[in-house]
């Protein structure tokens, strides 16, 4: 609770992750903000994620020592 | 059953071949004599395969102009009929070891540059650049266009051919590297490249046996066309990427191209297969009097420069280009920096001064594009969507994600059945 009180007494420093318009809104209100460009892997496309995961598993298998 | 192979090693081999390729100008020839599979009734075009019925306006205009130029039609009306008939065959330049800017249309009697990769021995071809304004590659086919093409076949080609016989081969890798140091990205800005080429050609050209008037006109023609070097930077990029064209398991892109209707890509480990999606609208600066409604979707093989880490991938080297394609100088830096996210390595030859001489982003990796969702950045000219009008502006565009998703599906089907 005490840390929350401190937070609101000090200047707010914002890191915005993902949607740029949130950062833009703060900039318009003169709030300092650092924007981090981030998007979910494969843009959230489940089929693409599944295919990429299959390739990763295959590559892990290809590079593991041969089983007897 | 999945085959055993190391994708990382396959990609390392692909970029190693790309890095070691050395494209040089070997000479100029007539397409029917040197382009594999070229014949009188074959029309080569930019982009992935397409039929006459699906061709965009500028591509149709260029085909009609080429038929008139070849004497296969007397006028535009007849050319349209011939183009739609079974007498004419169409094929992508990329399936005949070449590339063509914008509509990219090439026919049997056109002079073409011969570019050879000295390291691996493969050759790539491209027509000679016509200049700006009303030109075949933007779909224009008026008498002015045909007259210029005739002059290029009868004077420009032979004079340059003799010039190159006197001069000997010209190293395009070093010319492109130098052009990047001088503010070009060798796709939409070729002012430095053209100037450097002029310096290479002029002394030998003056020693040729051509009439003085022809020599003067050829030099004026090159000097008056900042894009003259484009038709060399493109086959140079093609010759570089051909060396990585079939490497089992590799996910490195070897082709990105557009025909004005579809965007197409090819992948090193998926031999001879095309993956396509709809060509996108280009966002940029339009010439006075034109609006977005006039613009044809993305067109041309010139995205081979981006595939090779040049063009939009090297925009940080060419901040002045934003005056032509739109945006601010800082955007040019950002576009290049973003491309490092989807590429395998940095060029050991093509360096970007504003990034402390960092190598250009090289070797687009299909897996990285799919994982990050970051699409390759392309800068390009914009053609009017109707035939016979020409260029209306220039701007920026990305490929459709569908090409990459389809290629990923095919990759898994091929290697992990």
Taking only the tens place, the pLDDT of each residue in B198-223 is 999 999 999 999 999 999 999 999 99
Rounded to whole angstroms, the Cα distance separating A19 from B286 reads 30
The distance of Cα B377 from the centroid of its chain, to the nearest Å, equals 15
Residue A51's pLDDT is: 98
Please tell me the predicted confidence (pLDDT) of residue A5: 76
Q: What is the mean pLDDT of residues B359-371?
A: 98
- Direct distance between the N- and C-terminal alpha carbons of chain B, in angstroms, rounded to an integer: 6
Nearest 5°: CA angle at B40, between B107 and B130?
A: 15
Do A48 and B405 make contact, defined as CB atoms within 8 angstroms? yes
CB count in 10 Å sphere of residue B338 = 18
Mean pLDDT of B97-115: 98
Q: What is the mean pLDDT of residues B9-35?
A: 98
- Is B322 exposed, middle or buried, given 0-12, 13-18 or 19+ CB atoms closer than 10 A? buried
Per-residue pLDDT at B322 exceeds 80: yes
Q: Strand runs (DSSP E) across B31-160, as ranges?
A: 42-45, 89-92, 111-117, 123-127
What's the pLDDT at A2?
Answer: 63
Residues of B in contact with A47 (CB under 8 A): 405
- Residue B301 has a CB neighbour count (10 Å cut-off) of 32
Q: Average pLDDT over chain B, rounded to whole?
A: 97
**Angle formed by the axes of helices B157-167 and B191-206, to 10°?**
80
Decide if B367 touches A, using CB distance below 8 A.
yes
Instruction: With cut-offs at 50, 70 and 90, classify the pLDDT of residue A66.
Output: low
The tokens describing B402, both together, are: 């569908």
CA atoms within 13 A on the CB side of B266: 26
Beta-carbon separation of B415 and A58 below 8 A: yes
- Rounded Cα distance, B246 and B254, in Å: 9
Q: Each residue of A27-59: b (16+ CB within 10 Å) or e?
A: eeeeeebebeeeeeebeebeebbebbeebeebe
**Quick one: chain B helix, strand, coil %, rounded to 5?**
45, 20, 35
Residue-wise pLDDT tens digits, B237-257: 999 999 999 999 999 999 999
Average pLDDT over residues B126-136: 93
Contacts of B416 in chain A (CB under 8 A): 54-55, 58
Beta strands in B22-162 (DSSP E): 23-30, 42-45, 89-92, 111-117, 123-127
Question: What does the alpha-carbon distance between residue B138 and residue B227 come to, in Å, rounded to a whole number?
Answer: 14
In angstroms, the CA B47 to CA B277 distance is 11
Most B CBs within 10 A among A35, A36, A42, hence the mutation to make, goes to A42
Residue B242 CB coordination number (10 Å): 24
A9-48 pLDDT, tens per residue?
778 789 999 888 999 999 999 888 999 888 889 999 999 9
Q: Which residue has the higher pLDDT, A67 or B116?
A: B116
pLDDT of residue A68: 44
Could you tell me the pTM of the whole model?
Answer: 0.94
**Token digits of residue B78:** 């007849």
- Position A7 scores a pLDDT of 75
Percent of chain B with pLDDT over 70: 100
Residue B324 has pLDDT above 90, yes or no: no
Note whether B51 and B131 are within 8 A (CB): no
Q: How many residues belong to chain B?
A: 417
What is the distance in angstroms between the CA of the first residue and the CA of the last residue of chain A? 59
Q: Each residue of B380-412: pLDDT tens digit?
A: 999 999 988 888 999 999 999 999 999 999 999
pLDDT above 90: residue B281: yes
Q: Are B150 and B16 in contact (CB under 8 A)?
A: no
> Does the pLDDT at position B197 exceed 70?
yes
Which of A40, A55, A65 should one mutate to test binding to chain B, selecting the residue with the greatest count of B CBs within 10 A? A55
* pLDDT for residue B167 is more than 70: yes
Contact residues, chain B, for A52 at CB < 8 Å = 367, 370-371, 408
> Is the pLDDT score of A8 beyond 80?
no
**Spatial contact of B380 and B138, defined as CB atoms under 8 Å apart:** no
CB A13 within 8 A of CB B374: no
Between A9-13, B130-134, B266-270, B413-417, the lowest mean confidence (pLDDT) is in A9-13
What is the rounded distance in angstroms from the CA atom of residue B25 to the CA atom of residue B37?
21
């Amino acid at each position: 609770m005490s840390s929350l009180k401190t937070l609101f007494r000090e200047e707010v420093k914002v890191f915005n992750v993902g949607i740029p318009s949130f950062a833009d809104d703060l900039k318009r209100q003169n709030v300092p903000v650092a924007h981090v460009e981030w998007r979910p892997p494969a843009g959230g496309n489940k089929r693409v994620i599944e295919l990429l995961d299959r390739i990763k598993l295959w590559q892990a298998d290809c590079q593991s020592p041969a089983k007897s | 059953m999945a085959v055993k192979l190391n994708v990382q090693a396959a990609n390392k081999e692909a970029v190693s071949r790309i890095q070691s390729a050395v494209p040089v100008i070997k000479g100029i020839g007539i397409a029917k004599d040197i382009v594999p599979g070229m014949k009188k009734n074959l029309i080569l075009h930019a982009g992935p395969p397409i039929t006459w019925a699906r061709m965009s306006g500028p591509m149709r205009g260029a085909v009609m102009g080429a038929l008139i130029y070849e004497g296969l039609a007397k006028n535009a009306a007849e050319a349209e009929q011939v183009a739609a008939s079974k007498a004419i065959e169409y094929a992508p330049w990329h399936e005949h070891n070449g590339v063509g800017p914008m509509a990219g249309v090439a026919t049997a009697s056109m002079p073409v540059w011969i570019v050879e990769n000295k390291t691996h021995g493969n050759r790539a071809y491209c027509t000679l650049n016509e200049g700006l304004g009303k030109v075949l590659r933007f779909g224009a086919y008026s008498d002015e266009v045909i007259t210029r093409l005739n002059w290029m076949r009868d004077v420009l080609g032979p004079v340059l051919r003799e010039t190159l016989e006197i001069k000997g081969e010209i190293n395009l890798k070093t010319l492109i590297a130098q052009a990047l140091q001088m503010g070009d990205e060798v796709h939409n800005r070729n002012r430095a490249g053209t100037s450097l080429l002029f310096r290479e050609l002029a002394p030998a050209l003056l020693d040729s046996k051509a009439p003085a008037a022809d020599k003067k006109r050829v030099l004026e023609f090159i000097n008056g066309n900042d894009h003259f070097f484009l038709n060399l930077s493109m086959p140079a990029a093609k010759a570089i990427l051909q060396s990585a064209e079939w490497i089992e398991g590799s996910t490195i892109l070897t082709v990105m191209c557009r025909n004005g209707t579809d965007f197409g890509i090819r992948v090193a480990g998926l031999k001879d297969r095309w993956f396509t999606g709809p060509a996108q609208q280009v966002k940029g600066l339009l010439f006075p009097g034109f609006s977005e409604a006039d613009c044809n979707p993305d067109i041309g093989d010139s995205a081979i420069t981006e595939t090779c880490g040049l063009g939009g991938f090297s925009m940080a080297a060419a901040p002045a280009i934003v005056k032509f394609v739109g945006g601010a100088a800082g955007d040019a830096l950002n576009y290049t920096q973003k491309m490092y996210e989807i590429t395998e390595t940095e060029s050991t030859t093509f360096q970007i001064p504003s990034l402390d001489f960092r190598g250009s982003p090289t070797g687009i990796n299909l897996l990285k594009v799919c994982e990050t969702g970051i699409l390759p950045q392309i800068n390009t000219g914009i053609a009017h969507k109707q035939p016979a009008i020409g260029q209306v502006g220039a701007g920026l565009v990305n490929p459709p994600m569908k090409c990459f998703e389809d290629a990923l599906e095919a990759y898994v089907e091929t290697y992990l059945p």
